Structures are given as C-alpha cells and as structure tokens.
C-alpha cells in the first residue's frame, strides 16, 4: 500500500474504487488503534475546527462584535430562536447545548465531506510514484457517512432526551403520559379507552425505542448516498480516455455538489428538529388532563 498525497497535474482526481459502506481503519495491524478510522480522523478535524473557531469568535468579545463573533452570534441566536420556538423557553435552556452541538457537528461533518480529497485521497493500488489506481482505503470520510458516528449521535441525543424528560415529568409522569387514557371518560367506556391507550402506549414506546435507529440510519443513508452519487458521477466517463475522464470527473459531479450542500444542511436541520420535537413531545405537561381531573 502506498500513501497518496495526489498532486493535481499527475492525473485527474483519484477516485475510490467504490464508496465502502463502512469507515476504513487506518491502522489495521495495530490492534489498540482499531478505533482510528478515517471517519474518526475527520471527526477529530471537525473537533479542531469547532474549537479553533469557537475560541476565535469568543476571544475578546465586545458589544460591537467582530466578524467571527458576529457570525457565531448569528448562528447561535438563530438556532436558539428555533429551539425556543419548538421546546419552549424553559426546556430550551437545558436542551439547546445538545441541539446546537448536534446541528453544528452534523453540518460541518456533512460539508466537510464535500471537500476535494475527502474519500479520494488514501491507499490503493499504486500506478506511479504519487498516484494510485483508486483509493481503496481513503484517508478521510465524513463522520456522518459512518454508522458508528450517526448511531453515537442518535444515542447521545436519546440519552439527553431521557434525562430531560425524566427531570421534567418524572418516571411516573412519563408512564402516565405514555400509557394513561386521555379524554376523562368513566365507566365501561373509560375501561375500553384505557385498554386502547395502553396499546397505543406500547406502540409509542416502540416508536421511542426505534428513534435512535431511524435518526441514525436516515442521516447515514442520506450522506452515504450523496457520497455514492458524487462518486458515480465522477466515475461516469472514466473509461473514455484521460481527457474525457478528467473532464467528466470535474464537470459531471459539480451540480450534485450543490445538491449535496443542500442535503447536508437539510439533514442537519432534520436531525436537530426531530430531536427538539421529541423533547417537546415528552416534556409538555398534559394540562387538559389535569384540568379535567380538577373538574
């Protein structure tokens, strides 16, 4: 295997032999470094970027903001407004750090995957001093195209959801909220409705349990599919000679880069909004029920 720094004039952008459904381990031979995949590398880069920009934006903050501070203020204020609009002012104070992090982390990861070289620079069958036929084991892969990362995100969000929910309504409150009959019916009808709501509660419980699965697979699927689309479009003219191959690998995926920019943003929004909605649904008190109880 040879490492590929890819100088531009050598050949057209090197294409992976195919986008793997998994993140490649960078040090297969070193057992304790098995966790270090190409998506972990990008996750670390994203971490570094976030740390660098956060420090840059919040160092020497002034009431009249400088450029970086202004940009971060815009992002944070916008996100906070959206979160408040969904979960309310009280829960927003608790949930915003997680939801804001989820949004920024997913967005930066998604867009990082669109940088030239991500997924195309790596190890593969050598064809020259600094070139390979295809990057079988890319050096970089967006974390959101790794199921480990998306499940990790979804599980983290699920844990925070559980903590916020139990803090707000308690265990019994959650059970009542999930399984308790609504409508305040008494007698035989009340029993029938209670049975129905018990069944609905079981369905609700199942839907809650599979939320991390749906969240993670949706995100992974979209980004992984995007990687495949870009790869396929880049590879479309690879058999038509070097000139057409070069032209095709640059021009054909270009429109899809814009689409992937949009998809990356949309997926970050979808993941974050769904988490916010889940929190809102389970932390909202059933005031109507209480009112009916009082009556």
Q: Which residues bind other proteins (CB under 8 A)?
A: 20-23, 34-37, 39-40, 43-44, 46-47, 50-51, 54-55, 57-58, 61, 63, 65, 69, 72-73, 76-77, 80, 96-98, 100-101, 104-105, 143, 146-149, 151-153, 155-156, 220
Q: Which is nearer to other proteins, 55 or 290 (CB)?
A: 55
CB of 75 to other proteins, least distance (A): 9
| Residue among 21, 240, 46, 243 at smallest CA distance from 153 | 46
**Orientation of helix 211-235 relative to helix 147-179, angle to 10°:** 150
CB of 246 to other proteins, least distance (A): 32
CB of 124 to other proteins, least distance (A): 18
Specify which residues 135 forms β-bridges with.
Answer: 124
CB of 105 closer than 8 Å to CB of 46: yes
Q: Which is nearer to other proteins, 55 or 167 (CB)?
A: 55
Q: Which is nearer to other proteins, 64 or 171 (CB)?
A: 64
Residue 209 and residue 195: Cα distance in Å, rounded? Answer: 21
Q: Which is nearer to other proteins, 10 or 69 (CB)?
A: 69
Q: Which is nearer to other proteins, 3 or 74 (CB)?
A: 74
CA dihedral 181→185→188→193, nearest 10 degrees, is: -30
Q: Which is nearer to other proteins, 97 or 255 (CB)?
A: 97
CB of 67 to other proteins, least distance (A): 14
CB of 46 to other proteins, least distance (A): 7
Report CA 178 to chain centroid distance, whole Å: 28
Q: Print burial letters for 135-153: b (CB count within 10 Å at least 16), e (below 16).
A: bbbbbbbbbbbbbbbbbeb
CB of 141 to other proteins, least distance (A): 10
Residue 182 and residue 179: Cα distance in Å, rounded? Answer: 9
CB of 75 closer than 8 Å to CB of 103: no
CA distances from 107 to 144, 223, 264, 268 (A): 9, 11, 6, 5
Give the dihedral sign, CA 260/111/119/38. Answer: negative
Q: Which is nearer to other proteins, 36 or 252 (CB)?
A: 36
Q: Which is nearer to other proteins, 65 or 180 (CB)?
A: 65
Burial of 294 (0-12, 13-18, 19+ CB in 10 A): exposed
CB of 228 to other proteins, least distance (A): 14
CB of 24 to other proteins, least distance (A): 8
Residue 90: phi and psi, rounded to 5, are: -65, -50
């Amino acid at each position: 295997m040879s490492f590929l720094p890819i100088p531009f004039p050598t050949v057209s952008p090197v294409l992976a032999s195919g986008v793997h459904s998994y993140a490649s381990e960078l040090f297969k031979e070193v057992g304790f470094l098995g966790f270090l995949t190409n998506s972990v590398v990008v996750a670390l880069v994203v971490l570094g970027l976030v740390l660098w920009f956060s420090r840059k934006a919040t160092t020497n903050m002034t009431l009249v903001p400088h450029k970086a501070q202004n940009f971060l203020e815009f992002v944070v204020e916008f996100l906070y407004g959206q979160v408040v609009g969904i979960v309310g002012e009280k829960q927003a104070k608790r949930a915003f750090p997680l939801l804001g992090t989820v949004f920024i982390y997913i967005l930066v990861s998604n867009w990082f995957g669109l940088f030239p070289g991500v997924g195309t620079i790596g190890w593969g069958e050598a064809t020259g001093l600094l070139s390979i036929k295809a990057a079988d084991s890319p050096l970089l892969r967006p974390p959101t195209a790794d199921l480990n990362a998306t499940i990790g995100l979804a599980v983290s969000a699920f844990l925070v959801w559980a903590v916020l929910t139990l803090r707000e309504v308690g265990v019994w409150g959650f059970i009542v909220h999930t399984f308790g009959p609504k409508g305040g019916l008494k007698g035989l009808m009340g029993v029938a409705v209670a049975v129905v709501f018990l069944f609905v509660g079981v369905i609700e419980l199942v839907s809650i349990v599979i939320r991390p699965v749906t969240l993670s697979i949706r995100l992974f699927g979209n980004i992984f599919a995007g990687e495949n689309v870009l790869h396929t479009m880049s590879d479309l003219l690879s058999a038509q000679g070097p000139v057409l191959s070069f032209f095709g690998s640059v021009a054909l995926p270009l429109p899809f880069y814009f689409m992937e920019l949009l998809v990356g943003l949309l997926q970050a929004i979808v993941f974050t909004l769904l988490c916010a909605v889940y929190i809102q649904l389970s932390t909202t008190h059933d005031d109507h029920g209480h009112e009916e109880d009082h009556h």
